[in-house]
Amino acid sequence: MPAVPIATNVEESRAPSPTPTVTITPPCTAPALSHGAGCAARIPEEIAAAAREPTLATLVLKDGAMLQGYSFGAEEKSVSGECVFQTGMVGYPESLTDPSYRGQILVLTYPLVGNYGVPSREEPDPLLEGLPAYFESSQIHVAGLVVGQASAEFSHHLASSGLGDWLRREGVPAIYGVDTRAITKRIREEGVMLGKILLPTSVVGRSEQPADAADDSAALLPDYQNVPWVDPNAANLVAEVSCKQPTTYSPAPDKALRRPDGRVVRVVAVDIGIKYNQIRCFVKRGVELVVVPWDYDFLADADNIDGLFLSNGPGDPTTITATIERVKAALALQKFPVFGICLGHQVFALASGAQTEKMKYGNRGQNIPCTDMLTSRCYITSQNHGYAVKADTLPPTIKELFVNANDGSNEGIYHTELPYFSVQFHPESNPGPRDTEILFDIFVSTIQRCHAAGKIAGPVEFPGAEAARLRRAQRETWERELAADDSDKSGRIVNGRRIRKVLVLGSGGLSIGQAGEFDYSGSQAIKALKEEGIYTVLINPNIATIQTSKGLADKCYFLPVTPDCVRKVILHERPDGIYCTFGGQTALNIGVQLRDEFAGLGVQVLGTSIETIMVTEDRERFAAAMAEINEKCAKSHAADNIEEAIAAANDIGYPLIIRAAYALGGLGSGFASNEEELVGLCRKAFAASPQVLVERSMKGWKEIEYEVVRDSYDNCIT
């Protein structure tokens, strides 16, 4: 790669604060004992803490806002840092020990915190010797914690102490009883800003470092220990959190992943704030991980490196020039694949010649959507960063891999010719979803592919990327073919045909309050079709539905949803496509009955295919499909008549559950404890269905209904 200068941030560290408006907001909740008898107090220190009222503390923001609350953490000194918010609902033990939060005052937006306590700090990780099992580093890294309500009680099978006790032991101040929603709104509107958590001098004494002369809080809060404003991003936070010497984490010999020469695959991880779960993700995949300090010369042993990993970490990426320069040299060597996460992503970008920028308020949460630019799939990710890569500064050989679906910021990049890639989010999670942990598998498989080739070979191969490329090429081909004799470009192209008019099958006549989900899904489908400029025709005799409301569908037929009526409407309207999946069992059955006629009628089935409907509705075929993917199912047999059902029952044994195929609302299904009940159920079932499934009874088990909506890009909503 050609040498390029290291870019520096061109934005200010944070948005300029508006003219200060000094206000003091009192606590928004009443004080509560953080521990005590009947409140899960377990150690003498907790019981002693319950003997006094909570200390009144104050959160001061650089824009002049002052919010008072109650202390439930350490009461040793006041602190200053960068005030940021995080939207996760759970995972505070992992978040507080994430080195990326170094020097920050963390505001948790979820209203209730501490209700499941804190796990044991002494319990060792079963995979990593010498590391704790339930945390992301060996200490709390936040400067202070702000929550709306700190739970007085906690309950969890792993809990060994309360959140407040842990904070006190770690020397970290914390405050509850403040309006975290107001703080979050303020930060979103004005940008991240510096903050302080001030404690009374009667508790912590006077500060040896006087506050700034222009600091209004010193005059308004004379009885509080004041401290100077501290911008953590001005310091090299990475040097504070990085390890001091290399450490090797090896997999179990029987799990080790080996090179062709028999040596265990070795990845060097540059610790610029590494989370322990990143180490776990490599070791459990059989990789030997050598974790080195941020300024370590790992290239001195480049011949023994199979892959380079750049971890997450805190602060401004441009402050660690030594790391950036060494990574730049590693990229130029072209000897091994490279993978970066969070700060490591920014370091990779800077070493490649791109620039980074300070975000207005960052992305910190556990449900942030990111779109894969190669496949158009959307992933829910865990994030914690205040800086981002500027996509418009990427060199020609570096392309965007992921983009934030909320704010459009860059979330990942890859090299188009070499096996280098990185992501801004946290695929190792902890806390958060593990949807993208597959990126570790992709990195490891890339290392193996390079070993097999005997050299660093081509770019990273991402699952689904080639199939998505072929789909795009096919769509472009269709567009060219249709462009010649198609002056009307409205609608959407599906399977080589332009869809301009669609027939939607409704649910038919239903009882009041029955199958409302079909009405909802159908009405949403009609809205979506109209947004695409597609003319919609609806068949639904039920006038008491949203689907049939005036102005929704372009045309509505109040006819029975039967094969004959559907056939007549198709012949009259000549739609390009038909949906059979928004009318419940009635519409599904119509699709199955007319499956051989649709092509002759000139209509294309959209959405779920008829074949898939038949597999899910035919009980025997569905059980076989589950067996193919190794999903456990109760022992069962399909029966086409009562005699076959009795034979199946004798083979399986009572009690049984009888399930009717292709039946509306499970009509004809039920439990059978003996042959007499079995025969009675089968007679009812066969009156409405051609098949029943005789299955071992699961009565008494808890049933969880799991519904998934999936689009053509494999985006799923559950």
- Catalytic residue numbers, as ranges: 342, 426, 428
- Residue 369 tokens, joined: 């959507």
Sign of the C-alpha dihedral, residues 65, 67, 72, 76?
A: positive
List 159's β-bridge partners, or say none.
Answer: 119
What is the DSSP pairing of strand 410-415 with strand 420-423? antiparallel
- What contacts 331, CB < 8 A, 6 or more positions away? 1, 338, 348, 351, 352, 418, 420
Report the candidate in 415, 388, 386 with the shortest Cα–Cα distance to residue 399.
Answer: 415
Report the candidate in 375, 322, 332 with the shortest Cα–Cα distance to residue 352.
Answer: 332
Distance CA 131, CA 702 (A): 37
Say if residues 92 and 154 touch (Cβ distance below 8 Å).
no
What is the DSSP pairing of strand 56-61 with strand 193-198? antiparallel
Say if residues 394 and 354 touch (Cβ distance below 8 Å).
yes
Distance CA 428, CA 280 (A): 9
Report the candidate in 418, 446, 88 with the shortest Cα–Cα distance to residue 438.
Answer: 446
Distance CA 6, CA 329 (A): 12
- Residue 637 tokens, joined: 């047999």
- Assign 264 to helix, strand or coil: strand
Distance CA 76, CA 74 (A): 6
Distance CA 397, CA 334 (A): 14
Say if residues 402 and 372 touch (Cβ distance below 8 Å).
yes
Q: What is the DSSP string of 99-162?
A: GGGTTEEEEE-SSEESTT-EE-SSSBPSSSTTSBSS-SSSS---SEEE-SEE-S----TTEEE-
Distance CA 296, CA 4 (A): 22
Report the candidate in 231, 224, 286 with the shortest Cα–Cα distance to residue 254.
Answer: 286
What is the DSSP pairing of strand 174-176 with strand 266-270? unpaired
Distance CA 666, CA 703 (A): 15
Range list of H helices, 532-609: 563-573, 584-593
Q: What is the DSSP string of 607-629?
A: SS-HHHHHHHHSHHHHHHHHHHT
- φ/ψ of 318, rounded to 5, equals -75, -5
